[in-house]
Amino acid sequence: MELAKEYNHKDVEDKIYKMWEEGHYFDSEISPKKENFVIVMPPPNVTGKLHIGHALNFTLQDIFIRFNRMFGKETLWLPGIDHAGIATQSVVERELLSKGIKKDDLGREKFLEEVWKWKEKYGNTIIEQSKKLGVSADWRRLRFTLDEKYANAVLEAFIRYYNEGLLYRGERIINWCPRCHTALSDIEVEYEEEKGKLYYIKYPLEESDDYIVVATTRPETMLGDTAVAVHPNDERYKNLIGKYVILPLVGRRIPIVADEAVDPQFGTGAVKVTPSHSPEDFEIAKRHNLGFLDVINDVARMINVPEPYLGLTTTEARERVVEDLKNQGYLVKVEDYVHSVGHCQRCHTVVEPLVSKQWFLSMKSLAEEAKEAVESQKVKITPEKWVKVYYDWLNNIRDWCVSRQLWWGHRIPAYYCEDCGEVIVSKEPVMKCPKCGSTRIKQDEDVLDTWFSSALWPFATLGWPENTPELNYYYPTTLLITGYDILFFWVARMIWSGMHFMKKEPFYTVMLHGLVRDEKGRKMSKSLKNIVDPLDLIEEYGADALRFTLASLTTVGGQDINLSKEKLKASRNFVNKIWNASRFVLMNLEGFNPNEIDEENLDLEFEDKWFLSRLNRHLKMEIEYLGNYDLGEAARKLYEFVWGEFCDWYIELSKVRLYGDDEKKKKTVQYILWKSLSTILKMLHPYMPFATEEIYSYVPFVDKPLIKSEFPKVNEAFIDDKIEKDADFVFGIIRGLRSLKAELGLPVATPLNAYFNSIDENEIKLIKEENEKILKLAHITSLKYVQKKPERVLKTVVQGTTVYMELPFDFDLQKEKDRFIKKLQEIDAELKSINSRLMNPVFLEKATPEVINKDKERQKELEKTKAVLLSHIEDLEV
């Protein structure tokens, strides 16, 4: 078997994925005796294409899933797709329009048929794409929020809420998107600072020559004013409260009222009140029993206004109103003003506040349930900084407008009697009014907010409201992983839904991760043209490189990630490095059979003990990081360990025995290499499943694919501080010799003799014992102990040891002296701080014994090196 010199992901990924799928390794079965690990996938939109945010989200989930599968837990990753009301409807609408077909001509039923057709055709795109990333979800259990059973769960939830009095239908001011033509919930509105104008308008007092000036950013809404409001304590206007003004342009008589909500600092301190088109004014109007007058309709045109303005768009009306006010002497002044304007999250159109009859979910008690779940730690949110944000949102929440004027979605199961006005909420179609017997019944035309249905995700996907075995075994799920941007939209709503309907938290832990941005930290957007397609990245660098990059850029704090090609390249190189290290090991396993090895009686050498110590230390660390949800640090540490220790040192050291004559020694090192490689592949597998699985298929004497193999156990007995410290010294000698050659400008491979002397017995022993390896790695011909400095040598100091290397030509020793002096200065600086600490009685009293001991040891070591350095510098003075 001969492996290619370079890892080529294109030859591997599809093949491996197919192998996993055919082996049913992603499938989960109910196993009551086994501890489980369950993640429900945040369902991507059915219209969605895999973007980099999904790539991050899926990667993190897959890493946890794969680890836990290897830990032997019954692991379920339940995937799904969201029907995404507005988004999907507008996609299909647009597509039909391009063929000259209008939605309204088609009618509801025909249109929905078209959407379903579209869904069948394109709805699985993102699923297929996510497979390229290595997603190991149980695809048999794929759920769609409009599946028959799921839809039933949504209706069930609606009916239960209704029967409990938590859902009600009412006329409220809502956020209306004139383009999507639907109501929006509060969080679907995005506010942006915009430059506008502040208009000061005179409102003449009734039966008086006096007037009051109000300030507004939306003069056109004055046509719908039903009052003027001032703050009750505002001295300027106290005498006007209760009086009336005559509304300019309209001539309507409206009162001046006093209300705490008015900000005396804003404008003139007097504001116009337009109850039907401003949420604040709506509240004021309710408090003062003012009239409501709709002057803007659902396509943002003027209604119920005097002739000249009737039918104008709001923009046209503004121009006309301002013009007329100016001409008639009512406009006092116009100022530049920056204010925040609400936009539709979906289409970015400016949102129009309108009074409308909608269904609302009462939030007070549900928000309490959601809060309690987190306060009591039933649900743990990580990073913790989001907990406060979560509480704040729930504390200030307003009732949730859940109806949407769309066709695509879960149709509201409410029926209205056209004769007596009775409202009937029912899962089954209603034919006859139970109150008056009329058959003139109409179902509500609207559908539910998509988030209303996805709020049920953790249990509706498992069969709720039926008490299924799945629900019993898999609920509550273990971990939810999602971006912090949908903490309110989705996470909070799932928590109260779970608490409310299941009486149990939907997941024990929520891990919120950051968002992926471009290399300059900017949001990826079409207008900036900085969107990267993960599929392109996979094509170019491989799925493993993409996954590893995303994982290693993750932090416990859930910081946003700035992705760049440089980082992908580094990860791709890492994958290749692992490929080649493995290739080396596999090429050198000839004639090896682990069954011939007595594992209990291995003749371990210095570097074996060192490496096994490091390996077990890292294994332990890895598990700890994982428990802390710190995949980023785990990935970064793995990178350093595998590249910096396994490849750079252990593999190099292993060559001594592999290429030596001692068969027994060779077998031992083969065994350690074989074992270590397997362990490393397992540690890496969740991060880079494809390459590791491919490599593992070439590893001899393993019986199952990596995905199903057991994660290695930590063997504490191998962790050994002393051996690691000794290794640092030996490696230091090798580095020292290499850098002497570099100082001479010689290739590392130049064969030269070397000598050493030391004031430390342990160091002498180590050099003697590991002589062969030092020679090999430093490319030195010999390294002999000497009492005195030999002639014509260049030297370096490592701890208490001086290493001399023969000088093949004349060399200016000033460089050596400079190097020594620089090193001495560094040591002196450090010694100074350590000494002052150790002489400080308060330090000795208060610092922990470990810290003091560490300082003392470090002090000894530094003193040792210092003494040697000083003697050499003195020599050089002569």
Binders in 527-566 for RNA, by CB under 7 A: 553, 555-557, 559, 562, 564, 566
Among 169, 197, 288, 837, binds RNA (CB under 7 A): 837
**Minimum distance of RNA from residue 346's CB (angstroms):** 14
Give, as ranges, the residues between 744 and 763 that touch RNA (CB under 7 A): 745-749
Segment contacting RNA by CB under 7 A, of 29-37, 58-66, 217-225, 630-638: 630-638
**Minimum distance of RNA from residue 569's CB (angstroms):** 7
Nearest to 11, CA basis, from 861, 747, 695: 695
Contact 126, 50 (CB under 8 A): yes
**Minimum distance of RNA from residue 161's CB (angstroms):** 22
Residue 388 labelled as part of a binding site: no
Give, as ranges, the residues between 322 and 341 that touch RNA (CB under 7 A): 340
Cα distance between residue 873 and residue 570, in whole Å: 42
**Minimum distance of RNA from residue 692's CB (angstroms):** 15
Nearest to 194, CA basis, from 350, 317, 319, 300: 350
**Minimum distance of RNA from residue 563's CB (angstroms):** 9
User: If binding is defined by CB under 7 A, does position 723 make contact with RNA?
Assistant: no
Among 101, 387, 702, 847, binds RNA (CB under 7 A): 847
**Residue with smaller CB distance to RNA, 310 or 847:** 847
User: If binding is defined by CB under 7 A, does position 101 make contact with RNA?
Assistant: no
221 Cβ contact partners less than 8 Å away, ≥ 6 residues apart:
272, 274, 277, 278, 295, 296
Nearest to 677, CA basis, from 659, 657, 697: 697
Among 252, 378, 665, 735, binds RNA (CB under 7 A): 735
Among 855, 864, 866, 872, binds RNA (CB under 7 A): 855
User: If binding is defined by CB under 7 A, does position 639 make contact with RNA?
Assistant: yes
User: If binding is defined by CB under 7 A, does position 575 make contact with RNA?
Assistant: yes
**Residue with smaller CB distance to RNA, 742 or 876:** 742
**x-marked contacts with RNA along 779-808 as a string, rule CB under 7 A:** x-----------------------------
Among 27, 298, 830, 863, binds RNA (CB under 7 A): 830
* Structure tokens given for 146: 């409009």
* Structure tokens given for 353: 């506040």
Give, as ranges, the residues between 44 and 83 that touch RNA (CB under 7 A): none
Burial class of residue 252 (count of CB atoms within 10 Å of its CB; 0-12, 13-18, 19+): middle
Q: How far is CA 878 from the centre of its chain?
A: 64
**Residue with smaller CB distance to RNA, 742 or 786:** 742
User: If binding is defined by CB under 7 A, does position 739 make contact with RNA?
Assistant: yes
DSSP label at residue 644: I
Taking phi first (over 0 means left), then psi (-120 to 50 degrees means alpha), and beta for anything else, what does residue 47 get? alpha
> How many alpha carbons lie under 13 Å from residue 392 in its C-beta half-sphere?
6
Distances from the Cα of 810 to the Cα of 318, 789, 813, 821, 877, angstroms: 90, 17, 9, 21, 18
DSSP label at residue 74: E
3-state DSSP assignment of residue 719: coil
**Residue with smaller CB distance to RNA, 105 or 263:** 263
Among 743, 769, 806, 863, binds RNA (CB under 7 A): 743
**Residue with smaller CB distance to RNA, 96 or 752:** 752
Cα distance between residue 576 and residue 587, in whole Å: 16
Give, as ranges, the residues between 383 and 442 that touch RNA (CB under 7 A): 385, 388-389, 392-393, 396
DSSP label at residue 524: P
**Minimum distance of RNA from residue 82's CB (angstroms):** 20
What angle do helix axes 565-587 and 534-541 make, rounded to 10 degrees?
40
**x-marked contacts with RNA along 115-134 as a string, rule CB under 7 A:** --------------------
What angle do helix axes 689-696 and 543-553 make, rounded to 10 degrees?
130
Contact 277, 224 (CB under 8 A): yes
Cα distance between residue 338 and residue 784, in whole Å: 80
**Residue with smaller CB distance to RNA, 160 or 620:** 620
Contact 572, 542 (CB under 8 A): yes
Among 7, 20, 161, 804, binds RNA (CB under 7 A): 7
Contact 440, 472 (CB under 8 A): no
Among 5, 94, 435, 832, binds RNA (CB under 7 A): 5
Specify the pairing of strand 182-184 against strand 167-177: antiparallel
Among 149, 169, 577, 675, binds RNA (CB under 7 A): 577
Segment contacting RNA by CB under 7 A, of 108-116, 530-538, 694-702, 832-840: 832-840
Give, as ranges, the residues between 449 and 478 that touch RNA (CB under 7 A): none
**Minimum distance of RNA from residue 817's CB (angstroms):** 15
Segment contacting RNA by CB under 7 A, of 144-152, 417-425, 453-461, 736-744: 736-744
DSSP label at residue 469: H
Q: How many of the chain's residues bind RNA (CB under 7 A)?
A: 78
**Minimum distance of RNA from residue 749's CB (angstroms):** 4
**Residue with smaller CB distance to RNA, 331 or 581:** 581
* Structure tokens given for 164: 């409990």
Q: Label residues 734-746 b or e (16+ Cβ within 10 Å = b).
A: bebbeebbeebee
Among 632, 686, 689, 712, binds RNA (CB under 7 A): 632
CB atoms within 10 A of CB 178: 21
Give, as ranges, the residues between 273 and 312 that touch RNA (CB under 7 A): none
Distances from the Cα of 636 to the Cα of 581, 679, 834, angstroms: 18, 17, 31
**Minimum distance of RNA from residue 309's CB (angstroms):** 30
What dihedral angle (degrees, nearest 10) is formed by the CA atoms of 511, 515, 519, 525?
A: 160
User: If binding is defined by CB under 7 A, does position 210 make contact with RNA?
Assistant: no
3-state DSSP assignment of residue 275: helix
Segment contacting RNA by CB under 7 A, of 185-193, 310-318, 463-471, 532-540: 185-193
* Structure tokens given for 583: 């290739």
Among 160, 252, 636, 789, binds RNA (CB under 7 A): 636
Among 580, 753, 762, 859, binds RNA (CB under 7 A): 580
**Residue with smaller CB distance to RNA, 320 or 823:** 823
113 Cβ contact partners less than 8 Å away, ≥ 6 residues apart:
none
3-state DSSP assignment of residue 40: strand
Segment contacting RNA by CB under 7 A, of 85-93, 368-376, 597-605, 846-854: 846-854
User: If binding is defined by CB under 7 A, does position 817 make contact with RNA?
Assistant: no
User: If binding is defined by CB under 7 A, does position 814 make contact with RNA?
Assistant: no
Distances from the Cα of 596 to the Cα of 600, 654, 664, 670, angstroms: 12, 19, 11, 12
User: Please, which residues bridge with residue 416 across strands?
Assistant: 423, 442
**Minimum distance of RNA from residue 60's CB (angstroms):** 15
Among 69, 172, 572, 617, binds RNA (CB under 7 A): 572
Among 169, 288, 569, 817, binds RNA (CB under 7 A): 569
Cα distance between residue 296 and residue 86, in whole Å: 23
Cα distance between residue 295 and residue 314, in whole Å: 10
User: If binding is defined by CB under 7 A, does position 187 make contact with RNA?
Assistant: yes
Cα distance between residue 499 and residue 502, in whole Å: 6
**x-marked contacts with RNA along 644-673 as a string, rule CB under 7 A:** ---xx--xx--x---x--------------
**Residue with smaller CB distance to RNA, 557 or 591:** 557
User: If binding is defined by CB under 7 A, does position 840 make contact with RNA?
Assistant: yes
* Structure tokens given for 782: 């010999």
E-strand spans in 711-835?
753-758, 782-785, 793-798, 801-806
**Minimum distance of RNA from residue 735's CB (angstroms):** 4
Give the annotated binding-site residues for ATP: 526
Give the annotated binding-site residues: 526
